[in-house]
Chains A and B, each alone.
Chain A
């Protein structure tokens, strides 16, 4: 009978992660402050920004743009008055 061996795992170590629920969704977007976070080269985000603002004029839109995949983050102060965030386009 062939000898048995133990073979070790080459897989990297992952720490356990406590997972959290999604934030509660908005009842309506009217009158809300929605932040549009643009990352990467301008492309559909140009049209998204334009059309979002046009189709949802009762939303208070805020926008921050980064030419790289690293977003320009909202400050803690800005987060207090931000009701929702759209990020586009994530790589």
Chain B
């Protein structure tokens, strides 16, 4: 977030500071303060519930005390934080190792429960040296190669060393392979897991974050991923193991711990990990697959790594209701669209737009069954870009209504002090009837074709990464090459 590095920098320059945080975030703050070299940083906790004036009055004495109270001997100390970095973490029998890797640690408020130290809470495949060696046969990269960016992107220039949030750790290929073993992966899955690792496996700290990944390209068939029905659910050992490795990397490499630095409810997407595949044979003519959409060739494999920062929606209509709309113009969907009695194809997206933005603005990942994409094609959307343009145009709402949303108070408007992008004018100079897009740009939305014959669409909030500092979804879905990690 930039707060702690800044504050630590000031302390190092001899400027005393006081930081106001919340009590339940102390361990996250302490951990970050240590990471930035000032472990004794002084904090005071604001209340989450006291009325503002009362809390401010309560906070002022400890703030001023923190700026003037002489330093303790502990606070005057210089030192070195050097965590142990042993390669072998346990030596013993398989039975003893099971116990070791299944150990828990009690996390106090706001969790108040024991949580797994090395796992997602379920038993893992034990990462013996032999198994990890075998896993490493899945890539040509050396075990001690550091995970770096293979192309310029969200995290920086090609070659940038990847920092895994929240503890800003780094990883080698071997570290990723260890987590892949634990997740139940096979060596042929490792390039996908390494590509996901390139994302840094970021987590949300104080908001609802769901981590997901979608694989596109020839590797989907090569390794037996499920792009059909149930692709996001349980059943496919490849989808499940790769999705789980994403979570284990967040936990083990990044150091994510609920109640310590992962402060939200959690997400069902993260429980066992979520990875699925694109169904390239379901793309309508002329529609690009995810790989081509992101600058790769059809013959290349890539993974779209996503962070759903908004809601996850679906099942707004029944599959039978959908068929009634398209085959005979019957049912509620047809009535809402004003096509009662008129057989399709009809633009079914009209049914879920604009309500999809009722609770949260921003881009969405639309995961849709092939038949539904074909209907869009048949009514004139000859490319995904045509759909993106239509969705963008549908997202506009009057400023007066936009002001009643929460997130615009933050980055999108810079607290209403910034410039509105479509007009080039200050937000405060615009009339309430000025139309504001709820999506930053057409390609912030993204379509993925997957699933089977059942007419289902899933919308994952968060959209695709757009390089814009005013964007609420600063960590939107980003593409990484899998072939680079083969």
How far is the CB of B172 from the nearest CB of chain A, in Å? 7
- Pair B248/A10 contact, Cβ less than 8 Å: yes
B178 contacts chain A at the CB level, 8 A cutoff? yes
Q: Which residues of B contact A4 (CB under 8 A)?
A: 91-93
How many residue pairs link A and B with beta carbons under 8 A? The number is: 270
Q: Which residues of B contact A15 (CB under 8 A)?
A: 170
**Chain B interface size, under 10 / 10 to 19 / 20 to 34 / 35 or more:** 35 or more
Q: Which residues of A contact B164 (CB under 8 A)?
A: 12
CA of A62 to CA of B137 in the docked complex: distance in angstroms? 59
How far is the CB of B60 from the nearest CB of chain A, in Å? 6
Q: Which residues of A contact B91 (CB under 8 A)?
A: 4-7
- Pair B19/A34 contact, Cβ less than 8 Å: no
A75 contacts chain B at the CB level, 8 A cutoff? no
Q: Could you tell me the dominant secondary structure of chain B's interface residues?
A: mixed
Q: Look across to chain A and name the residue whose beta carbon is closest to the beta carbon of B79.
A: A19
Contact with B along A7-34 (1 / 0, CB 8 A): 1111111111111111111111100001
B336 contacts chain A at the CB level, 8 A cutoff? no
How far is the CB of A87 from the nearest CB of chain B, in Å? 5
How far is the CB of A33 from the nearest CB of chain B, in Å? 10
Q: Look across to chain A and name the residue whose beta carbon is closest to the beta carbon of B42.
A: A22
How far is the CB of A13 from the nearest CB of chain B, in Å? 5
How far is the CB of B90 from the nearest CB of chain A, in Å? 4
Interface residues of B in 406-436 (CB under 8 A from A): 409-411, 413-417
CA of A14 to CA of B87 in the docked complex: distance in angstroms? 13
CA of A48 to CA of B92 in the docked complex: distance in angstroms? 57
Among A2, A10, A16, A40, the residue within 8 A (CB) of B118 is: A10
- Pair A70/B2 contact, Cβ less than 8 Å: yes
Interface residues of A in 35-70 (CB under 8 A from B): 37, 39-44, 46-48, 50-52, 55-56, 65-70
Contact with A along B143-182 (1 / 0, CB 8 A): 0000000000000000000001001111110110011001
CA of A65 to CA of B153 in the docked complex: distance in angstroms? 29
Interface residues of A in 70-89 (CB under 8 A from B): 70-71, 73-74, 79, 82-89
Among B3, B16, B101, the residue within 8 A (CB) of A7 is: B101
CA of A9 to CA of B117 in the docked complex: distance in angstroms? 12
B88 contacts chain A at the CB level, 8 A cutoff? yes
- Pair A90/B20 contact, Cβ less than 8 Å: yes
Contact A12 B3, CB 8 Å, known A5-B94, A23-B17: no
Among B2, B10, B20, B37, the residue within 8 A (CB) of A18 is: B37
Q: Look across to chain A and name the residue whose beta carbon is closest to the beta carbon of B129.
A: A6
- Pair B59/A44 contact, Cβ less than 8 Å: yes
B85 contacts chain A at the CB level, 8 A cutoff? yes
Contact A9 B86, CB 8 Å, known A43-B52, A85-B15: yes
How far is the CB of B71 from the nearest CB of chain A, in Å? 6
Q: Which residues of B contact A79 (CB under 8 A)?
A: 10, 13, 15
Contact A22 B171, CB 8 Å, known A7-B91, A46-B52, A89-B46: no
- Pair A91/B100 contact, Cβ less than 8 Å: no
Among A16, A21, A34, A69, the residue within 8 A (CB) of B67 is: A34
How far is the CB of B73 from the nearest CB of chain A, in Å? 10
- Pair B75/A48 contact, Cβ less than 8 Å: no
How far is the CB of B100 from the nearest CB of chain A, in Å? 7
Contact with A along B116-145 (1 / 0, CB 8 A): 001000000011111010000000000000
Among A12, A17, A44, A89, the residue within 8 A (CB) of B35 is: A17
Chain B residues engaging chain A, CB cutoff 8 angstroms: 1-4, 6-7, 10-22, 25, 29, 34-43, 46, 52-53, 55-57, 59-60, 63-64, 66-71, 75-83, 85-95, 97, 100-101, 118, 126-130, 132, 164, 167-172, 174-175, 178-179, 182, 205-206, 248, 252-255, 409-411, 413-417
5 contacts between A and B (CB under 8 A): A5-B130, A6-B129, A19-B78, A22-B75, A44-B46
10 shortest A-B CB distances, which residue pairs? A67-B415, A12-B169, A12-B253, A47-B56, A88-B20, A9-B89, A10-B252, A16-B82, A2-B93, A69-B1
